[in-house]
Structure formats: structure tokens, C-alpha cells
Amino acid sequence: MPKRTLNKALTVVIIGPGRLGTALAIALSQRGYHIQALIGRRTSSLKKAAALLDVPVQLLAAKDTDKFAVSDLVIIATPDDSMLAVVNGLLLREATGTVLHTSGALSSDVLSPLAAQGWAVGSIHPLISVSDPVVGTRLFKGAFWCIEGGRQALRISSRLVRDLEGHSFSIDSAAKPLYHAAAVMTSGSVVALFDVAIDMLVKCGLKRSEARRVLLPLLESTITNLTIKVPAKAMTGTFARGDLATVERHLDALSQKELADARSLYCLLGQRALALAADNGLDREVVRRIRAKLER
């Protein structure tokens, strides 16, 4: 268990104990924060989240958002579409502290009705992929968190990130959607692209489980390259070398009707790969010829 930090008396209520909300509850509890209540729509999810904590915690239904005791910090970790309902529920009670939401796409502006009522408001979003709450608690260490909002909210957010052994940075509130789109490109879209690659290997005769197993080391080596080099220098393979004949073979192999989506992705991403290769010094005429193939 992580070492508990000293002099932490903040009481925390978490609304939306899904994967991220539960991971936060576990990690903050381990570091001396008092998790006072978990609030959610489904009783089964609430009980499952509570079972992962080593301390007693109050469980409340979503309709009882205004029923928890006085708390220093409320963290809203619900889906974006539920944010308005949560805000309206909190408006039914007196302001007692700070409200932070964990949405990557929404800024603290969505909490402005609460700010008008006296709450300090902000947002806090970790740049990690949490698919399991227990594993997620370990991913917080060293992670980068985007924080924004009012002065008090930023102070609380910075403290929270520091206690979780992460790093925080701030952006303009209006930039949150673009920031989150970048996060989706780096995580969710990579997963989707990986799934397309699995489909391609299945067409080669491999089972899906085998395709996944053989592709993972390649993906891991690419991540390793990106940790030590800028993208143009980290890129390897066909486009980095400017292998026109290989691109032609790829396009021919992808001409099957059932691989139409894979072909479109190959051409679209190939254009960006070519731009990186050109930045890295690839001959302009080679770039032009390959681009012409991709645009057909």
C-alpha cells in the first residue's frame, strides 16, 4: 500500500464511482484523505466500489446528491451527459467547499451555477487510460493532470495531484475540447487502430488472440522510441524509408472490399507519416510520388 501522507484532513465526496471515480477514491484514501461518501445511480456499482476501500463510507443514490454531510471537496466523475443533473442536485444544498469535475472535454464553466452559489469550482483530468480501478490507482503515480478553474480550485487540484505523485499543468478553459480530442487521439484512437491491425492479421490466417499477442511488442517498442525521440525521429518503416514499391503492395493487399476501412486509414495516416518523413529529410520527389499513390 502506498505511504500515507501526513496532515491530510480533507473530506471527499465522489459522485460517479465508475472506473476513474473508484480509482480516485482508493488512491486518495490510501494517502490520508477521508472518503466520506460515494454517490451513484446503481446500488451494485456503489457496493462494488465501497468494497475496494479499506474504510467505511456512506453510499447515496444519485437522487440524494444533496444529502451528504459537510465536505471539503466534491469530485464529479460522471459521464459528461450527466453533469447538468449533478450540478442541479448540488444547487439544493449550501456551498461548503470545492467542486472539481474529471471531464476532459468540459471546462469548469459547466459548474458556474455552483460558483455563483459560493462553491470554488474547477476541473481535474488525468492523462491516463483507466480500464480497471485497482490498476488505475497505480497509474496515477507519474501521470500528468490537466487542471483549470478558480484560484482555490487550482490550489486544491495541485495539492491532490502532488499527493498522488503526479504532475499538473493548466490550459485555457476554452481549449478543453481540443485538449481532450488530443487525448482521445493518443489513447482511444490508438486502441481502435490496433483493432484494425488485428483484423488485418486475422485475414492473414492468425487468430485474434494470436494477432494481439504478436502486435503488442511492436506497439511497446514504438512507445519506447517516442519516449526518447521526437515523432519524426521515432518513426520507422515504409514511409520513413520512402519505399514506394512497398506502399504499392500494401495498397494492393488492402484493396479487398472487407478491408476498405483499413485502406482509408492507411492512406490518411500515410499522408501524415510522409510529412514526418519529409521533415526528417526524405527526398521530396519520393514524397510526391508516394503521396500521389495514397491520393488515388
Q: What is the CATH number of the domain that holds 78?
A: 3.40.50.720
Give yes or no: residues 67 and 208 share one domain: no
Give yes or no: residues 255 and 206 share one domain: yes
CB atoms under 10 Å from CB of 98, counted, come to 26
Measured distance CA(136)–CA(133) in Å, rounded: 5
Give yes or no: residues 110 and 219 share one domain: no
181 inside domain? no
Task: Give the total number of structural domains in the chain.
Answer: 2
Q: List, for residues 149-185, the tens digit of each pLDDT value.
A: 999 999 999 999 999 999 999 999 999 999 999 999 9
Q: What percent of the chain has pLDDT over 70?
A: 97
Which range of residues forms the domain containing residue 141?
A: 11-175
Give yes or no: residues 161 and 75 share one domain: yes
129 inside domain? yes
Give yes or no: residues 103 and 237 share one domain: no
pLDDT of residue 8: 52
Give yes or no: residues 19 and 160 share one domain: yes
Query: In Å, how far from its chain's centre is CA 194?
Result: 17
Give yes or no: residues 193 and 169 share one domain: no
Write the DSSP assignment of the chain as a string of letters. Answer: -PPPPSS---EEEEE--SHHHHHHHHHHHHTT-EEEEEEES-HHHHHHHHHTSSS--EEEEGGGTT-SPP-SEEEE-S-GGGHHHHHHHHTTS---SEEEE--SS--GGGGHHHHHHT-EEEEEEESS--SSHHHHHHHTTT-EEEEEESHHHHHHHHHHHHHTT-EEEE--GGGHHHHHHHHHHHTHHHHHHHHHHHHHHHHTT--HHHHHHHHHHHHHHHHHHHHHS-HHHH--SHHHHT-HHHHHHHHHHTTSGGGHHHHHHHHHHHHHHHHHHHHTT--HHHHHHHHHHHT-
Give yes or no: residues 157 and 202 share one domain: no
Q: List, for residues 90-123, the tens digit of each pLDDT value.
A: 999 988 899 999 999 999 999 999 999 999 999 9
56 inside domain? yes
Q: What percent of the chain has pLDDT over 90?
A: 89
Q: List, for residues 64-90, the tens digit of each pLDDT value.
A: 988 888 889 999 999 999 999 999 999
Task: Identify the domain boundary among 175, 209, 232.
Answer: 175
Q: Are strands 120-126 and 144-149 parallel, antiparallel or unpaired?
A: antiparallel
60 inside domain? yes
1 inside domain? no
Give yes or no: residues 61 and 148 share one domain: yes
Give yes or no: residues 201 and 170 share one domain: no
Q: pLDDT band for position 247 (50/70/90)?
A: very high
252 inside domain? yes
5 inside domain? no
Give yes or no: residues 42 and 163 share one domain: yes
CB atoms under 10 Å from CB of 168, counted, come to 19
Give yes or no: residues 201 and 164 share one domain: no
Q: How many CA atoms lie within 13 A of 7 on its CB side?
A: 1
164 inside domain? yes
